[in-house]
Amino acid sequence: MSQPELLSQDFELGFTYTRSTGPVVGRFLTDLRDRIIVGIKGSDGKVYVPPMEYDPVTAEELSEFVEVGQSGEVVSWCWVKEPRDSHPSAVPFAWALIKLDGADVPMVHVLRASAESEVSTGMRVTARWAEETRGFITDIDGFVAAGDES
Amino acid sequence: MSEEREMITGIEVPIYLKYHFTAGEATARFLSQVRQGKLVGQRCPSCNNVYLPPRGSCAACGVATTEEVEVADKCTVESFTIVYIPIPGNPIQPPYVIANLIPDGANISFIHLLSECDNDTVHRGQRVQAVWKPQEEWDYAMDNIRYFKPLDEPDVPSESIGKVPVTGWEV
Ligand SMILES: [Zn+2]
């Protein structure tokens, strides 16, 4: 038996999902399109951002939307030194948990900074909006240090 | 933002997984021979089952397989399903038949298309044969065989499916 040829090729598997957003996530995304960030109030009085459909304590349906601030505080973060193709940034950035003003829980999003040394827990950040919004989480292009959003 | 706009009710969130697939020795050997229009499996030295396509080992016995065995392009239908639902990106129009086929001379099935058949009468034990693409289109791929089509031969009884010699099915 002769030595086999070495065979290899690129192969892409695509899961082309579409998702129904439902009334709660749909409302969140619709408001993002208008450059507004909303959370939802739970039975414990806490404001959850992004809004959740069911109460984490009572499991009741939730419906009391609350607009929250577009600035907040970095609760924790992770610097991505070598972004991959599917990351929302070609240059190094941070994934950050950001507690927006008026919210009681942090939300994960992109934190853009020129260097890891410019990111710290507790820093104030502000949403920077995409030039065109379409009703998607990336309508927030990312968060930047407060004062740098323009 | 005073104008009323439509509420978001759905989003598109595709996920693409990018692989670089290296065939490995047994599969590379198999595909190199498929390119020549031959179906060559491997026999297990322990249980004597012939695997097509070969995987380089027998999963039942846990031993390496190296002996090559050319099998026929005539097969027996072991099982099948009729697909009615279109799959995005799949060029084949439903309804179509996907079958587990066991080639004469092999003991384990592989999956391929059945066509030129009456979908309502496709059945287990049915005899079929490969319809190959023109030789100039052959590549390192099982779709060198366009599909399998029914043969005018008697059915293989259930207990003999997977035990047909390479010389074919004789009643
Ligand atoms: Zn074996």
* Closest CA in chain B for residue A13: B17
Whether the model pTM is above 0.80: no
Given a cut of 60, whether residue B128 has pLDDT beyond it is: yes
Given a cut of 50, whether residue B2 has pLDDT beyond it is: no
A108 found inside a domain: yes
| B67 Cα to chain A: minimum distance (Å) | 9
A11 found inside a domain: no
Mutate to test the interface with A, among B2, B3, B5, B11 (most CBs of A within 10 A): B11
Range of the domain at A77: 22-145
Residue B72 burial (CB count, 10 A) = 18
In this predicted model, what pLDDT tens digit does every residue of B70-85 receive, in sequence order?
999 999 999 999 999 9
CB contact (8 A) between residue B20 and residue A10: yes
Q: What's the confidence (pLDDT) of residue A25?
A: 97
Q: What's the confidence (pLDDT) of residue B5?
A: 75
Domain ranges of chain B: 25-160
A8 found inside a domain: no
A13 found inside a domain: no
- What is the value of ipTM here, to two decimals? 0.82
Residues of chain A under the 50 pLDDT cut: none
CA distance B4 to A133: 15
Q: What's the confidence (pLDDT) of residue A3?
A: 59
Q: What's the confidence (pLDDT) of residue B88?
A: 74
In which band, very low, low, confident or very high, does the pLDDT at B3 lie, cut at 50, 70 and 90? low
Cα A78 → chain centroid? 14
Angle at A100 between CA A58 and CA A20, to 5 degrees: 55
**Residue B10 is nearest to which of A7, A13, A20, comparing CB atoms?**
A20
CA distance B168 to B110: 18
Number of structural domains (chain A) is 1
